[in-house]
Chains A and B, each alone.
Chain A
Amino acid sequence: MSSNTAPRVIQCALPSSLTAYHDFVQQVLESLEELKWQAADLFGVHMALEESISNAIRHGNKEDPAKRVHVECQVSAERFWAKICDEGEGYDPSAVPDCRCPENLEVPGGRGLALICAYMTSVQHSECGKCLTMEKTLQSATG
């Protein structure tokens, strides 16, 4: 089933505080719930938003109160899309160690990105690592 309805856009310039973005995430999840997204898919979106926004605050903006994290989400019955940009110095995503390697299992870092990639259909970095764009389409789900 395809929908001609334009996606709903939810956006916010979030402060660089690890306690200040949960209401925004909840708002996105409630919008998807209204669009009849199932619990397992909502869990994946929740995880991806939690990890991408907290990474932007912690590693991108380094919790600098003068900086913001800019998040735009587009939600529809079949698709979730989000772009998360920080105001930090950027980074090289390919330099993040693979947390799944046996030698890195106990090393901190990299788990957030691995979770985002696992739950989203596609993930892309731009602006020298300062922006992350991610998408989940339900058509690709099995069953």
Chain B
Amino acid sequence: MGAVRRIDVSVSANVSVVRFKDQKIIDPEAIQELGQELFDLVEKEDRKKLVLNFSNVEFLSSAALGKLITFEKKSKRHDAELILTNISPEIFQVFAITNLDKLFQIKDSEADALAVL
């Protein structure tokens, strides 16, 4: 397995909690790496319950949204459940503008996500 550079993953009650290392998810190479590291969680490691914690994320581009959409599709294909949490009002607005708040399951906090997974 390659070095994990863009995310931190911890396991809590059989749920994989992912935190992003970058505050601004803009750089194309970083987005590419981020996508691959996320995809590996469901494709190689077969994790079935995932929480993406956005508490560290201050900015993300539409290219990053594209990777998240692909990750959502891959998660669905591998029967993995995915919940996004701790999204700041500014970032939530980005999801709302693009209607992705309808595509993703979003909870306020990690605890809220763990309660339903």
Name the interface residues of B83-109: CB closer than 8 Å to any CB of A: 90, 94, 97-100, 102-103
Binary CB contact string for chain A from 89 to 115 against chain B (1 if under 8 A, 0 otherwise): 000000000011110011010011011
Name the residue of chain A whose CB is nearest to the CB of B90: A43
- A87 at interface (Cβ–Cβ under 8 A)? no
Residues of A within 8 A of B (CB-CB), count: 23
Residues of B within 8 A of A (CB-CB), count: 21
Query: Which residues of B sit under 8 angstroms from A40, Cβ to Cβ?
Result: 90
Which of A101, A111, A115 neighbours the largest number of chain B CB atoms within 10 Å of its CB? A111
Query: Could you say which of B1-9, B40-48, B62-70 contacts chain A?
Result: B62-70
- A46 at interface (Cβ–Cβ under 8 A)? yes
Question: Is B100 touching A105 in the complex (CB atoms < 8 A)?
Answer: yes
Partner of A111, one of B59, B72, B90, B98: B98
Given contacts A105-B69, A115-B98, could you give 18 more A-B pairs where the C-beta distance is less than 8 Å? A18-B27, A22-B26, A43-B59, A43-B90, A46-B59, A50-B61, A54-B61, A54-B63, A100-B99, A101-B99, A105-B102, A105-B103, A106-B103, A108-B69, A111-B98, A114-B98, A115-B97, A118-B97
Residue positions of A touching B, CB distance < 8 A: 18-19, 22, 39-40, 43, 46-47, 50-51, 54, 99-102, 105-106, 108, 111-112, 114-115, 118
Partner of A115, one of B69, B94, B103: B94
Question: Is B61 touching A106 in the complex (CB atoms < 8 A)?
Answer: no
Query: Which residues of B sit under 8 angstroms from A115, Cβ to Cβ?
Result: 62, 94, 97-98
* Docked CA distance A99–B69 (Å): 12
Interface of chain B: mostly helix, strand, loop or mixed: helix
Question: Is A19 touching B28 in the complex (CB atoms < 8 A)?
Answer: yes
Q: Compute the total of residue contacts between A and B using a CB distance below 8 Å.
A: 53
Query: Which residues of A sit under 8 angstroms from B66, Cβ to Cβ?
Result: 108, 111
- B78 at interface (Cβ–Cβ under 8 A)? no
**What would 20 A/B residue contacts be, using CB atoms closer than 8 Å?**
A18-B27, A19-B27, A19-B29, A22-B26, A47-B59, A47-B94, A50-B61, A99-B98, A99-B99, A100-B97, A102-B102, A105-B69, A105-B99, A105-B100, A106-B69, A112-B61, A112-B62, A114-B97, A115-B62, A118-B97
Residue positions of B touching A, CB distance < 8 A: 26-29, 59, 61-63, 65-66, 69, 72-73, 90, 94, 97-100, 102-103
